[in-house]
Structure 1
Amino acid sequence: MLLSFYNPDVLGDVLIVETAEDVAAQDTTQKDNVVRIFNTETNDAIGFNFFGLGEELGIQNESGQVFLDDKQVDILNSAIAKTGFSDKLETDNSPKFVIGHVAEMKAHPDSDHLHITQTEVGLDKPVQIVCGAPNIEQGQLVVVALPGAVMPTGAEIWPGALRGVDSYGMICSARELGIPNAPQKRGILVLDQGTAGQAFDFEAAKNLFD
């Protein structure tokens, strides 16, 4: 997983890269223009800060989340290797907001409102997602934020657990997706058409509630 953010007006020429979910037990090591952020319990990298590479990466005029291609990731890996760190980043530009099909659904054993779904998202097998929306039903076409998605609010989606049950994404409401004129009430967005795994079209969705 690879999340990248660049905000030169606030932070200067610093690219922030996240490779794993934030943890409480963490520390940093800086070598030259690379800061490695790591889990102190496992020594696994959870992210990097890269200084002074905006122009070389061609992102100096961007702000916010940036999506790096193979060539740009190669530049970062070269910078990592020059410092002596052994980590290697991998490009990840697979769609993170996709259409899902709720193939199975059952009640959560430890909740009166949560449901455990098996939702098809175009992978080899369905993903398990725990959902608390009151209008969710088996057979629906929905919008899924997969791990690695960044919501319009800036919230990041990572694998987690709800009431002790693993969940690998979030089934979204129109409001959570930032769709204009979305209903201001609880409930997921249910689509009329689409194919499981298809990237959700935010541009087309702007007219859903006109």
Structure 2
Amino acid sequence: MNVFYNKQGIGDTLLVSMKEIDKTKRSVENVGDVARLYHKDSEETVGYHIFNASSYGTIDRTGMLAVTGSLLDTVQTALKANGIKEQLELPEKPSFVVGYVKDKKKHPDADKLSVCQVETGDGTHQIVCGAPNVAKGQNVVVALPGATMPTGMKIKKSKLRGVASHGMICSAKELVLPDASKEKGILVLDESYEIGSDFLAQYHG
């Protein structure tokens, strides 16, 4: 589950994404302040748009939000107040974690790509990265397989030019952080960030 909020950009609306589906398969049901997004064939809920969100709880952050118990309470309060009985649960693990680049090598078949070995707290992930500033020894933000980016793109295990890649090393712009640099490149974190921890919880904390 991912939650996004930007009052200045889109108004007082929480965007809750639970699953990625083809837009042609998506339907919307409006109930009061809530728009339920669902698969039009299976009717499975894939997300919610909650309007007038601040009337259901305190939201004092912008961008991608850490899915905490407090934020989930705000979402559940809004759903219940608008007659929606579905119960949401906290994710078992965060989608965006702090990683450590243990090694970086040139991609064998692409000059502008690097093959990185990134420790994420639960093991080492091989990630192909195209950022010019990625380097061995950095703390970085990793979108794990299954994560949904603010654009709606779901991160999957894949191959880039024939090399396996399990996740994505993110830029501040890709995470829609309010202080994102306009320069190209990944977001490099300082040593205060704990490897394997929920990046959004630390960033907003």
User: TM-score range, shorter-chain basis?
Assistant: 0.5 to 0.7
Q: What residue in structure 1 maps to residue 123 of structure 2?
A: 125
Counterpart contact for 1:77–1:88, Cα < 8 Å: yes
Match for residue 96 of structure 1? 96
CA gap 1:163/1:30 in 2 versus in 1, 3 angstroms: farther
- SS of the residue corresponding to residue 196 of structure 1 reads coil
Give the match for residue 208 of structure 1.
none
For the Cα contact (< 8 Å) 1:67–1:93, is it kept in 2? no
**Which residue does the alignment assign to 1:71?**
70
Partner of 2:155: 159
Match of 2:45 in 1: 45
Aligned residue number for residue 168 of structure 2? 169
Cross-structure match for 1:141:
138
Question: How far did residue 120 of structure 1 move?
Answer: 0.3
- 2:97–2:120 Cα contact (<8 Å) kept: no
1:5–1:15: 8 Å Cα contact kept in structure 2?
Answer: yes
Amino acid at match of 1:131: C
Percent identity of paired positions between Structure 1 and Structure 2: 23
TM-score, scaled to structure 1 = 0.60
* Contact 1:142–1:188 (8 Å) recurs in 2: no
Q: State the number of aligned residues.
A: 191
The equivalences for 1:186-201 within 5 A come to 196-197=195-196
Q: Distance in 2 between matches of 1:173 and 1:58?
A: 24
* Aligned position for 1:3: 3
CA distance in 1, matches of 2:57, 2:117: 39
Equivalent position amino acid for 2:16 in 1: V
Gaps of 5+ in 2: none
Give me the whole-angstrom Cα distance separating, in 2, the residues matched to 1:159 and 1:54.
30
| Gap regions ≥5 residues in structure 1 | 204-210
Indicate the SS of the match to 1:101. strand
- Aligned letter for 1:128? Q
Contact 1:133-1:188 at 8 Å conserved across structures = yes
Q: Specify which structure has the bigger relative contact order, considering alpha-carbon pairs within 8 angstroms and separated by 6 or more residues.
A: 2
Q: TM-score, normalised by structure 2?
A: 0.61
Q: Render the CA deviation track for 1:86-141: whole Å, top value 9, x for unaligned.
A: 45242689593624133575736x6454333331022x22223211245656x533
